[in-house]
Structure 1
């Protein structure tokens, strides 16, 4: 094979990939990605290039993708950098409404219409420093900000994953919430100022702001590492911070004696709360320590404030007093609106448990019939009767200490928070994996048992295929029970949660979206038939990437994607008020609130959404040609469900792919216990794995196979239907990032034939090392499984590409290929590094039996991309010299090992094998982060 050097300049890499891809007409088996990987691998083997040179190229490619991501992110926050304010659109909406219909304006701005929820999970893949630089550049893209972003991008920060703890996630959430509070205050000022211009009795207005909420520190679904005392401590710290914020706001009114006294009261309450947080932050496993903390918090004290009315009542008195100047009254109205929205915390609490945790309590404690172990109709009827006749139990912190069941402990904690920390803030009680109405009824019984149902919004989460299919009947059955109807009537709305991430994992994003829209409709219909005049609170949870429910467009498109205009219009027609909540998840989601500028743009976009009237969908073919649309849905869903249980799919996600994932949060990648295979992998990690393989198939695939015989009709409906067109554009965006050459390249890494061929004909250092790798791969099924999945996707994408090409606004194939060249370059480099790392371990001599491991074991670790583990094991077996000879420099007798050329350690092995292996592992992780930029998020 002729000797040549693979280009490492990004522009030349792109040319290499472009030129090789053009050769596919001559050689249909051409794979430009693996061709580059193979040449780079041989250059590393032959010493024509170095890992440090590869690292420099990775940095350049990473930064190019990062900057492109930041520029696109900035574009989504449309008003940043423009002459007008981010709230200009909101201001125009409010002014127009107030002028045309003052009473409707009053009704609109004083009703609860929705909110923003901050969630966490493993999405902190970018270091904190890099995210801050990203946000600063997106907010103000100057030369200085760009230089800082570039510096942060080239700093791998290897210690970052160890810094991601629950406490860290909570701090990051609180930073984002602080900026969101600023934006909420700005919206409040617009409402009040508009009212002053349009309403004679403007002082009587009590605006309701879009709410802020957080489950960071309170979410126990799938994790057992959050102790109840941590949640109490975090809530106390949040309360102390919010009291300090209110104090700062009141300091502007020192001339008012009432408010000066209130500020003094707040100072005492803040000190008391901080002291309580300090006590609950100690080790409460000691009963004496717990008793001290509990007694301090629960004791009567003039310093305590547990009801926000203590703050808002004096403000209302001054606002309504005609002697209070208009400017002051308006400022106090703004502050009162913020207090009404947040009460005595920085954000509302979202607790979350799993349905199984609730079910366990009910089966254990309520003596349900054993033949009704799945909580069927008998259990529902019994629980409904019990919920209607529940005697409230007293609760103290000793009860929390002694209680063993997670679900009951959460209800007890709600009681203690409402009694002793914040009496007026509604608490959301989310129940994940809800598939049975008796679980919700049981939760209502427990809520009444602990006297918290008056402030607790019990919310089932529909995310599994079964739940999405039966959710409408689920709610219908609940509403048949008088106890549940009374509960909803008292709360004023029914709360539900829909999981875009998990539904997209099981049945694909497009089918998942269709199923979610359907369940919105079915639940709205059920509620409208029984309780017209109430509200339906829909919390749509999603991540920031297309594979987890985030629409790849403007905020308006995203919000209409989550809760469609058709759904909103149908709810209003049934006299049901839609209340829409959306999530911003973890490091990627918090970026939207990382600076005041970004936060205002994000919050303003949400305000525009909830203030707007839903667009008419009367002529949308998606809603008129329902037989065809739902036939397509069933076929699409079946395609994904069949793939999800395929053994080759399990092989693809069950081996080396997990090694590409970096630790990105405090919650585990897989659920403890429960099912195995892809079902055990969380939605974030599942989506991240597909990203890292270059095939976001849960968004891009299945459509081509859904209705292959009616492509023309599908094309016509897509062109005529805004709703279906939007869904197909999401899938098209994913298709632009889908690369079968990338997936087949990874298959080639695991193909023993490739290793044998290169060992014979390649330009490599040690042919025997490659043959050892090939031998280890002899019984490995990864290559075959990846190729089978690639073949399956190829058949589907051929049909989908034909459909896309027939659309009115089809993206060009040329632009798709050109736009993913950097993406291909990253994968090709990673495949070369995988080959090189395996080749390095293939050079090992046979290991001594005393080490209880073999060369094949080391190679297998690297095959699983557990490169650091392999390096650690090798370092333990072959320790380096540690300078011990210097300790004996005063011994006069000559010796060999203690001489200047000591070989007591394995320094050469470290230099030539272990150190490069570690560098390969580090570069693989950096490439994982870089790859995520193409998708706009991690996972």
Structure 2
């Protein structure tokens, strides 16, 4: 049983035993089989590595197939033809109106989801583009250190591919207009997509991004975008006169970017860099408006149709992106803004920001504030994170790009006063006409009270005046903490209601001339708001047709915005071909538009059923969240099941003793979701659906079947449930079962493990994790029985492709990892007690291994058992000695037999984590 085929067959055989013994666990049984082989020498870690490599490539193949199914066709000609079929507008006015405003704003965010190595990403992209599988011997490649600079570079690469794809679409749109309306087409200004990024500007939850990082990144983006403009113009005409202006501007920006790439902590160094950037220079370019006008004019004057289209395509790029790779999003936490406004207006802390008095106080301050000048010195000495962000924005608008507006996202925003505080600082530094202030709704409190929030905010005349100047009301709805603390489906439905309430509030306050920009931030996995069934479902799940109709009927223009997050999200844009396919599918879906006259979905008419359904799921999810059982299970291994996938830390610091009491709030949302994948059951997606239908299965099933929103919900649940396994959850708990370890060498079956198993059994006799996992598995099983009863009443309209193959792959991977973890436990408990480093606690090391803080454990073991240390023969001394009596040769053997195998087994377990995540389709 040393091949993948052998393991798969053995797992299938074990599954058959569940019919006669329901409590039998096939996954854990296979892990025991593998563990016995490992400990007897029948199976080596090298053999495991070979099997894992085969599964890794198969998982990458599954991911490539899923990506292709979402965006196919991939070829350029096929996508240009597909776009042409979507161009059905009867008049030029209708055509220009549809394609002259963004169908979608795409934001390239960078939370820790850089799961795959560059080689793996390339393999998936190539397979998806070609419609082929990943080669069985595909190169996995080294995992790079994911720094902020790495994330930024990856974001810019994805955006660059998206820009190339958008140019292709714009050229096709312009060519269509030229052929269809030859006398009007030159008035066309296509803008089907707009791109943005917060990589390097997102300060929520991190303190490692300095203001100089943000300025440096923005200057580097300016260099890259100007270079691309030059390249595009040179392709049109290598001797174009505008190149004589754009190339020097590029060189100037490159010099300034170099200035800000260094260490600016010294005031003298900062002064030099700042003075160079702020000084007048003929090469200093702050606006592309004159260049856009000249390109448009030249296009109108030329008789060469191809040249005219190319010139207008370049002008469209400039109009969309400005002097950067896209627009930028700064992000801070509401607490940071609240602290800043208190320091400025309420140093004694007398004002409650949740009160109406606070709004009156801040409103008066906004009315009275006079714009302040600022410079880089003010930025350097500012201690408040929130104020520092506004100062940085002021410098970017003054000295980098004067045209492109900047988004200010405010996380955990629960009070309208916080938005007014942001408006105060924007006005204080004279940038309120260039900054879109956007509250983020994702906590349970924010979602529950979001309707009252937008009512109160829009009731403020000073805010409405600001929004009219900007031309939009911007909000952000998040599926990160919302999905974790409310549950993914209740969060989506709560966000939908909030969006509908925003439409009502804007209409009530006569904001028809102002657009609603709704930024739905989510990841790529089903646990963070990205629907896995199709690209259409992905776009309609966070911003439903029901919500869009509310805006359409109110006469409010909608600007939908979504995130493509980290390495998972950038995969959609990993090549120009995939980027074109992605944007073409989105353009044809038309996410910014809806039919206002469409009949009302039954889900919203039968609120007697749907609201109770929503509330029951939400309550069930809350019970899990508040349950000590759930929290202990999710944190049982700490974060040790996961690879490091980003530059932002995944957990807050805690000492070893605190691990047993780790709160879910110590783990960020993405790792939380990722752990659920690794444990085998996406609780925050599936749990509660069955419970909510109990007692009313037939009527609830009929509602879900007859409603498009209901069917979409069911597709999400089925896709998640198809990869879920309660048995796998239970199997993880058996690792900590004292009785299991005591029984392994029973009757002499594994007598060579008697000592190690006895020590493990004795150590784990008081461990709570076996009971925790059993209780959680029981709760999940009861709910799953109810879910299956509901799903049996609803036709499966979109069966998951290769469902059983995927489940078997996950089962084998889980069994392999459980066997490797057992190997690590046995090796750890077998390490000799005595060592030179007598300050090392053996129990601490064991607990580190059991919670998979393996790197720390290995560091302690290597310190305890060094293989290189001073020897008496190192010294050339005349005086003889009889002590020590012999050399200590034992530590090399300890390294070889205990420490190195733990390291190897853990590295293999992390490769398994990557493969499991790829089958799920994303990290967390």
* TM-score category, normalised to shorter length: over 0.9
Q: How many angstroms apart in 1 are the aligned matches of 2:341 and 2:401?
A: 28
- Checking the alignment, whether the CA contact within 8 Å between 1:108 and 1:611 is kept in structure 2 is no
In structure 2, the partner of 1:4 is none
Match of 2:351 among 342, 356, 372: 372
Match of 2:63 among 60, 69, 88: 69
In structure 2, the partner of 1:240 is 223
Aligned pairs (5 A) from 1:326-475:
326-367=305-346, 370-475=349-454
| Offset, 1:373 | 3.2
- For residues 900-936 of structure 1, give each alpha carbon's deviation from its aligned partner in whole angstroms, at most 9, with x where no partner exists: xx75351222222112111111111111111111210
Matched, 1:855 2:836: no
Q: How many angstroms apart in 1 are the aligned matches of 2:760 and 2:776?
A: 24
Q: How many angstroms apart in 2 are the aligned matches of 1:250 and 1:61?
A: 47
- For residues 92-133 of structure 1, give each alpha carbon's deviation from its aligned partner in whole angstroms, at most 9, with x where no partner exists: 222x21xx2322112222234431110011111211222122
**Bigger shift: 910-919 or 399-408?**
910-919
In structure 2, the partner of 1:137 is 127
Q: How many angstroms apart in 2 are the aligned matches of 1:26 and 1:201?
A: 76
Aligned pairs (5 A) from 1:266-285:
266-285=246-265
| Offset, 1:590 | 0.5
SS of the residue 2:621 aligns to? helix
In structure 2, the partner of 1:713 is 699
In structure 1, the partner of 2:54 is 60
- Checking the alignment, whether the CA contact within 8 Å between 2:690 and 2:790 is kept in structure 1 is yes
- Checking the alignment, whether the CA contact within 8 Å between 1:833 and 1:924 is kept in structure 2 is yes
- For residues 691-747 of structure 1, give each alpha carbon's deviation from its aligned partner in whole angstroms, at most 9, with x where no partner exists: 110011111111011130111111101110111111121011111111111111111
SS of the residue 2:517 aligns to? strand
Q: How many angstroms apart in 1 are the aligned matches of 2:918 and 2:77?
A: 30
- Checking the alignment, whether the CA contact within 8 Å between 1:46 and 1:764 is kept in structure 2 is no
**Bigger shift: 761-770 or 581-590?**
761-770
- Checking the alignment, whether the CA contact within 8 Å between 1:454 and 1:491 is kept in structure 2 is yes
- Checking the alignment, whether the CA contact within 8 Å between 2:353 and 2:359 is kept in structure 1 is no
- For residues 586-622 of structure 1, give each alpha carbon's deviation from its aligned partner in whole angstroms, at most 9, with x where no partner exists: 1111011011110101111222233774256525211
- For residues 438-486 of structure 1, give each alpha carbon's deviation from its aligned partner in whole angstroms, at most 9, with x where no partner exists: 0001101111111111111101111111111111211110111111010
Q: How many angstroms apart in 2 are the aligned matches of 1:621 and 1:450?
A: 50
Match of 2:627 among 634, 646, 654: 646
Q: How many angstroms apart in 2 are the aligned matches of 1:250 and 1:849?
A: 69
In structure 2, the partner of 1:689 is 675
- For residues 61-105 of structure 1, give each alpha carbon's deviation from its aligned partner in whole angstroms, at most 9, with x where no partner exists: 222222122122122121125x842233322222x21xx232211
Match of 1:632 among 599, 605, 613: 613
Matched, 1:561 2:544: no
Match of 1:809 among 780, 796, 805: 796
| Offset, 1:539 | 0.8
Match of 2:289 among 282, 301, 309: 309
In structure 1, the partner of 2:96 is 106
**Bigger shift: 732-741 or 609-618?**
609-618
Q: How many angstroms apart in 1 are the aligned matches of 2:806 and 2:248?
A: 59
Match of 1:919 among 887, 890, 904: 904
Aligned pairs (5 A) from 1:781-820:
781-809=768-796, 819-820=806-807
- Checking the alignment, whether the CA contact within 8 Å between 1:464 and 1:503 is kept in structure 2 is yes
Q: How many angstroms apart in 2 are the aligned matches of 1:920 and 1:253?
A: 56
In structure 1, the partner of 2:15 is 21
In structure 2, the partner of 1:489 is 468
| Offset, 1:796 | 0.6
Task: Return the TM-score normalized by structure 2.
Answer: 0.95
| Offset, 1:888 | 9.4
Q: How many angstroms apart in 2 are the aligned matches of 1:794 and 1:888?
A: 67
SS of the residue 1:373 aligns to? coil
In structure 2, the partner of 1:206 is 189
| Offset, 1:270 | 1.0
SS of the residue 1:151 aligns to? coil
Q: How many angstroms apart in 2 are the aligned matches of 1:775 and 1:872?
A: 25
SS of the residue 1:284 aligns to? coil
| Offset, 1:387 | 2.1
Task: Return the TM-score normalized by structure 1.
Answer: 0.93
Note closer, same or farther for the CA distance 1:881–1:681 as it changes in structure 2 (3 Å cut): closer
Matched, 1:89 2:78: no
| Offset, 1:657 | 4.4
| Offset, 1:847 | 2.7
Q: How many angstroms apart in 2 are the aligned matches of 1:773 and 1:18?
A: 30
In structure 2, the partner of 1:127 is 117
Q: How many angstroms apart in 2 are the aligned matches of 1:931 and 1:278?
A: 42
Q: How many angstroms apart in 2 are the aligned matches of 1:9 and 1:660?
A: 24
In structure 1, the partner of 2:5 is 11
Q: How many angstroms apart in 2 are the aligned matches of 1:56 and 1:188?
A: 47
| Offset, 1:886 | 9.9
- The alignment's C-alpha RMSD in Å is 2.6
Q: How many angstroms apart in 1 are the aligned matches of 2:169 and 2:557?
A: 21
In structure 2, the partner of 1:3 is none
- For residues 356-403 of structure 1, give each alpha carbon's deviation from its aligned partner in whole angstroms, at most 9, with x where no partner exists: 110010111112773433442111122122223321100100000110
Match of 1:935 among 917, 920, 924: 920
SS of the residue 2:440 aligns to? strand
- Checking the alignment, whether the CA contact within 8 Å between 2:155 and 2:570 is kept in structure 1 is yes
Matched, 1:183 2:165: yes
- For residues 745-780 of structure 1, give each alpha carbon's deviation from its aligned partner in whole angstroms, at most 9, with x where no partner exists: 111001111111113244252212111112221222
| Offset, 1:151 | 2.9
Q: How many angstroms apart in 1 are the aligned matches of 2:228 and 2:172?
A: 20
Q: How many angstroms apart in 2 are the aligned matches of 1:68 and 1:220?
A: 35
Note closer, same or farther for the CA distance 1:40–1:896 as it changes in structure 2 (3 Å cut): farther
- Checking the alignment, whether the CA contact within 8 Å between 1:71 and 1:138 is kept in structure 2 is yes
Match of 1:217 among 164, 184, 200: 200
In structure 2, the partner of 1:836 is 823
Note closer, same or farther for the CA distance 1:827–1:897 as it changes in structure 2 (3 Å cut): farther
Q: How many angstroms apart in 2 are the aligned matches of 1:374 and 1:779?
A: 48
- Checking the alignment, whether the CA contact within 8 Å between 2:540 and 2:591 is kept in structure 1 is no
- Checking the alignment, whether the CA contact within 8 Å between 2:635 and 2:662 is kept in structure 1 is no
In structure 2, the partner of 1:876 is 863
Structure 2: 5+ residue stretches without partners? 655-660
Match of 1:702 among 688, 698, 705: 688
Q: How many angstroms apart in 2 are the aligned matches of 1:101 and 1:205?
A: 12
Note closer, same or farther for the CA distance 1:63–1:330 as it changes in structure 2 (3 Å cut): closer
Q: How many angstroms apart in 2 are the aligned matches of 1:412 and 1:39?
A: 62
SS of the residue 1:461 aligns to? strand
SS of the residue 2:559 aligns to? strand
- Checking the alignment, whether the CA contact within 8 Å between 1:691 and 1:931 is kept in structure 2 is yes
Aligned pairs (5 A) from 1:24-63:
24-63=18-57
In structure 2, the partner of 1:524 is 503
Note closer, same or farther for the CA distance 1:251–1:758 as it changes in structure 2 (3 Å cut): same
- Checking the alignment, whether the CA contact within 8 Å between 2:287 and 2:403 is kept in structure 1 is yes
- Checking the alignment, whether the CA contact within 8 Å between 1:344 and 1:422 is kept in structure 2 is yes
Q: How many angstroms apart in 2 are the aligned matches of 1:410 and 1:624?
A: 45
SS of the residue 1:856 aligns to? helix
- Checking the alignment, whether the CA contact within 8 Å between 1:430 and 1:497 is kept in structure 2 is yes
**Bigger shift: 855-864 or 604-613?**
604-613
Q: How many angstroms apart in 1 are the aligned matches of 2:797 and 2:70?
A: 22
Q: How many angstroms apart in 1 are the aligned matches of 2:317 and 2:305?
A: 19
| Offset, 1:15 | 1.7
In structure 2, the partner of 1:264 is 244
SS of the residue 2:695 aligns to? helix
In structure 1, the partner of 2:525 is 545
